[in-house]
Each structure stands twice: as structure tokens, then as C-alpha cells.
């Protein structure tokens, strides 16, 4: 019976992770639309404040207890990487490079998450897992490079830093989710950063004339990244990582660049080539392979088992 429960837990982790990836796939296209008309700092603060207020309501509604002292540092890392770091660095990067070019670097996010999962979570995926992980990353990066994308060194460096801090935030959040629950982790990280982000939002609040000139599309993009990319997506994502393993479920991020390109084609009317469909199939094979050869995360002591809500 324990084997069946473990299998169901792992399957649930991959399903939750997949839903999270679908939600995150709209982040860069939406950010690209918004950053054309909004200051990156205002955009970053605005999305964090929207999500932070939602998190505050959720924590109050369900009367969640405050984090323990030993959980504050990991929550701080989640806030620095996921609430502030990745949104701000990627918004800055999108002032120098296109959203399509930025997607190249998302192909490195599964590796970043897996490495931090090993360093911080004690996970030990096998050698074949790393082969599939690297192959999937190279497929995504190779497709984007072959598509004739050109970058800017500043934008490239900012996206590389964004991927690194995001991988750290994903790994730390997944570890906390095993004892706190997925939505509690992102909620407390958002609430901890809320005072700073609210002050930043007020400081960079645009002048009335500037505010009036912002298009409905930009406001809609801000709402999306605030509600879904910053809050709802993390609920599914952290639960998936906690259930199925950081390194293993993290490979689903290999699909995010391709989903993002598909959304960009629909929203920005870009062409979707046959080669993209072929790369999608190849990446799906890599994800399936990494899932097959990933080892389970180390079990926690009985006293540290979480509610996994």
C-alpha cells in the first residue's frame, strides 16, 4: 500500500507542477507587454503588492500560524528570489532583449532548480537524469539560437542572474512546502516582502498623465503577473515540487519556454513553425526520461512531516 501511495503522491506532484508551468508560461509575454509602458520597478512592486494583499487575506481567512524562527531565512530567500529578484531582473532584461530571446534562458531554469535541489535539499538524481536534463535544456536553447535571435549583453546577463535566483527560490520554497504547505510558503514570502514592495510602489507611482496613458493591455498584463504568476502559479508549483521532488518535477520547466512561445504567437501574432512542434516533442521525451530516472527526494523525519495542503 505504501508503494501505491508513493506513486499517487509522485503523480500528483507532476500534475501540480504542470499546472504551475502553464501559469508561469504567460509571465514573460505579459511582462513584455507591461514593461513597454511601465517602469520595471513599478511593475515589480505592483505585482508583488497585488499578490501580497491576496496572500494576507488567505492567511487571515484560514488563521495560519506564524512561521517558526528556523523557517524565516528560507522564506527570506524565497522572497528575494521569487518575489523580487526574478520579476525585477527579467523586467529589466526585457528592456534590452525581446521576450523570445529571454525564453532562451528559461531553458536553463530546470538545471538551476535541480542544482539548488541537490545543494539545499540533499537530492541525488542519477547520471541518466542529468543526461536528459542537459539534453532538454540544450534543445530549448538550440531552438531559440537557430531561430535567428540576437541578444544584448546586458539583457543576457540580467536574465542569467534571474534564472539563478529563481532556481534558488524554487528549491527553498519546495523544501518549506514539505512542512508548511505550498500556498502557505508563497503567502508568507509575499507578506514578508509586502512593506518593502508597498513603499517601492508608492515611490515609483507614475504621474496622473502617465498613468492615464497606460493601455488596458498593460494593466491586464500587470493583473495577470500579480494574481497568477506571483500567487496562484506558486501554489501549484511548490506543492508539485514538494510532492514529486525538486530535481524531478523541476524538469517540467523545460516546457515553459515552448508554452511561452505559443502564447506569444497567440497574443503577439508571432509565427509558430513546424520546427517548434518538433522541439516540443523532443523536450517532452526529455521530461519523460528525467521523470523515469529521477530518484525520490529523501524522506523527512516523522516529526517534520507537513500538512501538504
- Distant-in-sequence, close-in-space partners of 305: CB < 8 Å, separation ≥ 6: 178, 179
Quote the pLDDT of residue 259.
84
Q: Do 259 and 216 meet the contact criterion of CB atoms below 8 Å apart?
A: no
DSSP string, the chain: -HHHHHHHHHHHHHHHHHHHHHHHTTHHHHHHHHHTTS-HHHHHHHHHHHHHHHHHHHHHHTTPPPPPHHHHHHHHHHIIIIIIIHHHHHHHHTTTS-HHHHHHHHTTHHHHHHHHHHHHH-----HHHHHHHHHHHHHHHHHHHHTT----HHHHHHHHHHHHHHHHHHHHHHHHHHHH-HHHHHHHHHHHHHHHHHHHHHHTPPPHHHHHHS-HHHHHHHHHIIIIIIIIHHHHHHHHHHHH-HHHHGGGGGGHHHHHHHHHHHHH-----HHHHHHHHHHHHHHHHHHHHPPPPPPPPGGG-----
Quote the pLDDT of residue 120.
77
Give dist(CA 216, CA 307) in Å, integer: 40
Quote the pLDDT of residue 306.
47
Question: What share of the chain has pLDDT > 90, as a percent?
Answer: 44
Q: Is the pLDDT of residue 309 over 50?
A: no
93-116 pLDDT, tens digit per residue, is: 988 887 777 776 777 787 788 888
Average pLDDT for residues 163-185, to the nearest whole number? 90
Least confident residue range of 49-63, 163-177, 283-297: 283-297
Average pLDDT for residues 251-272, to the nearest whole number? 75
Per the model's pLDDT, the better-predicted residue between 169 and 135 turns out to be 169
Amino acid at each position: 500500500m505504501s508503494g501505491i501511495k508513493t506513486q499517487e503522491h509522485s503523480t500528483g506532484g507532476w500534475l501540480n507542477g504542470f499546472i504551475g508551468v502553464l501559469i508561469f508560461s504567460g509571465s514573460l509575454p505579459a511582462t513584455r507587454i507591461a514593461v513597454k509602458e511601465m517602469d520595471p520597478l513599478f511593475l515589480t512592486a505592483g505585482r508583488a503588492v497585488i499578490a501580497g494583499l491576496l496572500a494576507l487575506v488567505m492567511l487571515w481567512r484560514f488563521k495560519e500560524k506564524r512561521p517558526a524562527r528556523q523557517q524565516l531565512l528560507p522564506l527570506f530567500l524565497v522572497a528575494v528570489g521569487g518575489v523580487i529578484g526574478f520579476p525585477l531582473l527579467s523586467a529589466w532584461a526585457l528592456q534590452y532583449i525581446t521576450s523570445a530571446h529571454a525564453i532562451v534562458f528559461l531553458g536553463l531554469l530546470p538545471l538551476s532548480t535541480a542544482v539548488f535541489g541537490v545543494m539545499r535539499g540533499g537530492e541525488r538524481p542519477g547520471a541518466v537524469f542529468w543526461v536528459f536534463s542537459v539534453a532538454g535544456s540544450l534543445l530549448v536553447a538550440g531552438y531559440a539560437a537557430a531561430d535567428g535571435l540576437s541578444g544584448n549583453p546586458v539583457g543576457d546577463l540580467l536574465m542569467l542572474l534571474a534564472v539563478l535566483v529563481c532556481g534558488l527560490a524554487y528549491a527553498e520554497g519546495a523544501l518549506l512546502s514539505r512542512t508548511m504547505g505550498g500556498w502557505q510558503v508563497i503567502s508568507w514570502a509575499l507578506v514578508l516582502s509586502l512593506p518593502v514592495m508597498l513603499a517601492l510602489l508608492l515611490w515609483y507611482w507614475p504621474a496622473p498623465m502617465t498613468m492615464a496613458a497606460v493601455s488596458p493591455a498593460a494593466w491586464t498584463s500587470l493583473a495577470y503577473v500579480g494574481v497568477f504568476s506571483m500567487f496562484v502559479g506558486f501554489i501549484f508549483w511548490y506543492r508539485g515540487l514538494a510532492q514529486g521532488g525538486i530535481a524531478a518535477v523541476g524538469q517540467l520547466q523545460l516546457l515553459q519556454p515552448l508554452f511561452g512561445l505559443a502564447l506569444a504567437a497567440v497574443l503577439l501574432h508571432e509565427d509558430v513553425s513546424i520546427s517548434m512542434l518538433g522541439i516540443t516533442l523532443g523536450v517532452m521525451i526529455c521530461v519523460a526520461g528525467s521523470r523515469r530516472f529521477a530518484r525520490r527526494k529523501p524522506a523527512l523525519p516523522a516529526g517534520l512531516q507537513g500538512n501538504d495542503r
